[in-house]
Amino acid sequence: MMIKHQIKSSHIFQSFAIIALGLSLALRSQPALGAEKVKLIYGPFNGRISVASLEKYATTGEMTREFRLYSKFVDRETLAQLRYWLGNRFESDRVEMYRFSKTPEGEKFFQDLGTVIKTHPQRNGFYAIRSALIGAADKPNNSDGWTIIEAMHNFPTEDLQINTKDLFKLQKFWSDNQSDYQAALKIFRYKENN
């Protein structure tokens, strides 16, 4: 009986594999998505900035005209922190990131973050964030790590929405409750040469 069940299961998986192969050959290859724009929401204020502008600022410190428009609303210290965080390299790999996302603490962390980083105003960004971070962390062991910008390039939609007001509240909450987020601190550790 057990062998008959295993053979039947094997045929089902083979059928799925053949269907998947057929579909992949029949359908034209689609380019991978990645966030191109970040929609910043702060109360009634909404604005969009390209990931390319953020990346240029992170790597060179140079502000595009688009970035300069938004930089007028924040002080120099906040801009310096933004550049640091966007360019900072993290050393966790995809396996660590995936395992973390499957723990109760990891799920809570990504759910909390998903309330402020979304693909749609009414949709928690949990799955998109998890996918983007695992994709960004998918680097060879000898690499120099991954950045938030690389995570944006791995985001599964062209746009991502960030409620900046709530993000600052969440960051303060995490800072005030660091003992509850020790596993997250281990996952988001910096590369030594930063």
What pLDDT, on the 0 to 100 scale, is given for residue 13? 44
CA angle 19, 95, 147 (to 5 degrees): 105
For residue 100, pLDDT over 70 is answered with yes
Amino acid (one-letter) located at 108: K
For residue 74, pLDDT over 70 is answered with yes
For residue 124, pLDDT over 90 is answered with yes
**Mean of pLDDT values over 70-87:** 86
What pLDDT, on the 0 to 100 scale, is given for residue 142? 67
Please spell the DSSP secondary structure of 44-58, one letter per residue: TEEEEEEHHHHHHHH
Please indicate whether residue 177 or residue 150 has the higher confidence score (pLDDT). Answer: 150
What's the CA gap between 146 and 190, in Å, rounded?
10
Domain definitions of the chain by residue range = 1-30, 37-187
pLDDT, one tens digit per residue, over 46-57 is 889 999 999 999
What's the CA gap between 119 and 46, in Å, rounded?
15
What pLDDT, on the 0 to 100 scale, is given for residue 168? 80
